[in-house]
Structure formats: C-alpha cells, structure tokens
Amino acid sequence: MNYGIVSQEQLEQIEDILYQKLVKFGVDSVIIIDMAGNVITVKDNGKNKYNIYSFAALAAGNFATVDAMAKLVGETEFSLLFHKGQDSNIHFSKIDDELLLISMFGKDISLGFLRLNVVEAIEQIRKVWARQG
Amino acid sequence: MPDFVCPYVWKKVETGGGKLSFINLKDKVVQVKIVYYGPGRCGKTTNLEYINRKFRDQIQSEMVSLKTHGDRTLFFDFLPFDLGQIKGYEIKIQLYTVPGQVRYNSTRKLVLKGVDGIVFVADVMEKQREKNIRSLNQLHENLQSYKESIFKIPLIMQYNKVDLKEYGIPVLPTFVLQQDLNSRLQVPYFEASAITGYNVVATLKKIISSTVVSIQKKLL
C-alpha cells in the first residue's frame, strides 16, 4: 500500500473514522504511527497529557521487538498485542507493513468490543488510503 | 524549507538512498530522526545525556532510556526536542542511540529504520581501534539492508574521549582515526569529549544542519 502522500481531505476522513469507530465509544486516544516511530495522526478525547512523540518511539520499538520474536519462533506475526494496566490499556494493530494503529482505553470498554471496532476502522482506513493518487 | 503550495497533508520525501521522511504539510511539522551509532561504551548515551542537561530549559519532554541494570543501553535512548521554525515549518528533532554491544545488532537495525542522519561516535582509545572499524562496517551493512547508502546519508564522525590523553591513557591520533574510518567517506569530523561536553553541541549542530539541508534539497 502506497501511503506516501495523503491529502488533507483523506487525513480528515481518517481522523473521522478514528473518531466514529473508536473515540466516540470511549477510547481515550488513538494514534497512527509509522514503524520508524513518526507520528502520523492523533485523535483523542482531549484529556491525554503524555508526550506522544516519546510514546510513538517506544511503541514502534515495542512492536518491532514483538514482531522479531514472532519470527524467531516461526510465527509470521503475533496478531494480538495488548498491554493491560490497572486504569488504562493499550492495544496495537497493524494497518500495513509500515503503519500501526494504537488505541488507549480505560476500564469502561471490553477488549473484544475494542478489537471489533479496530478491525472495522482499519478496513475503512485502508479504503481511504487506497484512493490516493 | 520551500514554501509549499500543495494540497497534500503528508508528503513522503526522498532524502537520498531511497530514504523517505515524513513532512506534515497540514500542521507544518517535519520530524527528523538522528541516530548516534558506534561501538559499545564509546559514549553515545553520554552525548545525549549532556545535550539533555545542557538544553534542559528548551526540552519539554524527558529523555527515555531503555537500559540494563548495569547501565548499558538495551534498546535505545530517545530525546525529542523542538528546533524552532525554518520557513514556517516546525522542526522536531528526535535523537536516538543504538545499543553498542556486539550481540545487539538486531535491535541496532530496528533503531536505524527511517533514519535521516547519523553521528558515528568512535572511541579514541588505542585498544578500541578494531571495534570502531567493525562497528562502522556493520553500520554500512545495516544501512544496506534498508537500501540506504552510508555514502549518501548525512553522517558526522565524532572522535570521542580525547580528554583521556590528559590521564596518560593511550589514544589514537586523529589522522589515524581519519585514515581508519573517514578516508573514503570524507564526512565532517569532530574531536570530542562527551563527558565534559567538549564539541558535543558542535557535533549536534553539524548533523542537524546536514540533515535539514539534505531534506530541503529533496524538496526543492
């Protein structure tokens, strides 16, 4: 998937998908990053106070490490990457070989519900990306 | 940076050797990834720690260090800061180090992904001569695995620990280091002492300007 150039309109559509599918249902924050640790876009409920650039660098490293571990044990990938905390949880999902979608959510949402919505959001995002020139 | 009249928000820009950087045209943000590379215990993390202390007032976020109990870098250090604006574009510098130990090459490779500029930190101690050369050769190979070229990517040499001379520790003269490491590359170099801060900022300024110029060239 070529994601090199994304128009303002496409980015707004992607942000809208993130809002409609995830933030609206109570996900605190959704970030799309690339595998090098760059932040592509962020959508949140306005309450996040952490440094997203440090977060993106660590998240890219974390994902790459888990991916490399999967390959070591003969898996193509571990499809579920999820960290559970007392108050907040982080879920990672691959959009394509270069992009990651990371959702941060609290106790009010179940993992299953989140995963369903993430899958739908990613399908829609891929369609938007596929339309680029 | 040139003034864009462009309907696109994200532009992936070739910056040499097939490298692509992200420029956010909507928010006018350029994210620049600079990696400090070199053999184990050469002073990569010490460089970042000095920069972090020196510019504490301008750096809003904490330095992130993933290290072992023995204070050796396990994965990377990460230090982000804002450089300010160039032609209306906000430049976000992201400094990384790699783990220097030989056995961590797979993690070194991961950190190099998407790199825009590199500082190669060499250890001037005589006994480290071989390790410097081996590390540089491996950098060359690692970059090739991302279809990058060590001859094209912005690169600065830093000959670190020159202060050790004063303590009677045998160090390599600069011309030997130049011969060993920089005879083909011909990149700018600095003698430095990360622990005292000597030429740490000069190295940083040089790699930032080389990297920004390289990105700029590709945009023009």
Average pLDDT for residues A2-23, to the nearest whole number?
81
Taking CB atoms and an 8 Å cutoff, what residues of chain B touch A53? 31, 61, 80, 92, 94
Cβ atoms of B181 and B174 within 8 Å: the answer is no
Query: Which ranges of chain B have pLDDT less than 70?
Result: 1-23, 219-220
Q: How far is A110 from chain B (nearest CA, A)?
A: 30
Contact check, Cβ <8 Å, A35/B33: no
ipTM, 2 dp? 0.75
Q: How many domains does chain B have?
A: 1
Query: Would B46 be classed as within a structural domain?
Result: yes
Count of C-beta atoms within a 10 Å radius of residue A47: 7
Cα B8 to Cα A7: distance, rounded to the nearest angstrom? 4
Query: Would B30 be classed as within a structural domain?
Result: yes
Report the percentage of chain A scoring pLDDT > 70. 93
Contact check, Cβ <8 Å, B10/A68: no
* Residues contacting residue B180 through CB under 8 Å, at least 6 positions apart: B129, B132, B133, B172
For helices B200-219 and B44-54, give the axis angle rounded to 10 degrees.
90
Query: Would B5 be classed as within a structural domain?
Result: no
Give the pLDDT of residue B139: 97
Taking CB atoms and an 8 Å cutoff, what residues of chain B touch A8? 7-9, 25-26
Query: Would B1 be classed as within a structural domain?
Result: no
Q: What are phi and psi of B65, to 5 degrees?
A: -125, 125
Domains of chain A: 8-130 (3.30.450.30)
Query: Would B29 be classed as within a structural domain?
Result: yes
Whether A52 shows a pLDDT value over 90: the answer reads no
Cβ atoms of A64 and A35 within 8 Å: the answer is yes
Domain holding B31, by residue range, is 10-219
Cβ atoms of B64 and B116 within 8 Å: the answer is no
Taking CB atoms and an 8 Å cutoff, what residues of chain B touch A35? 113-114
Query: Would B151 be classed as within a structural domain?
Result: yes
pLDDT digits (tens, 9 = 90+) for B10-55: 445 544 434 445 667 777 788 899 999 999 999 999 999 999 999 9
Q: Which of A67, A61, A53, A99 is nearest to B112 (CA)?
A: A61
In a 3-state reduction of DSSP, which class is residue B132?
helix
What CATH number corresponds to the domain at position B57? 3.40.50.300
Cα A118 to Cα B106: distance, rounded to the nearest angstrom? 30
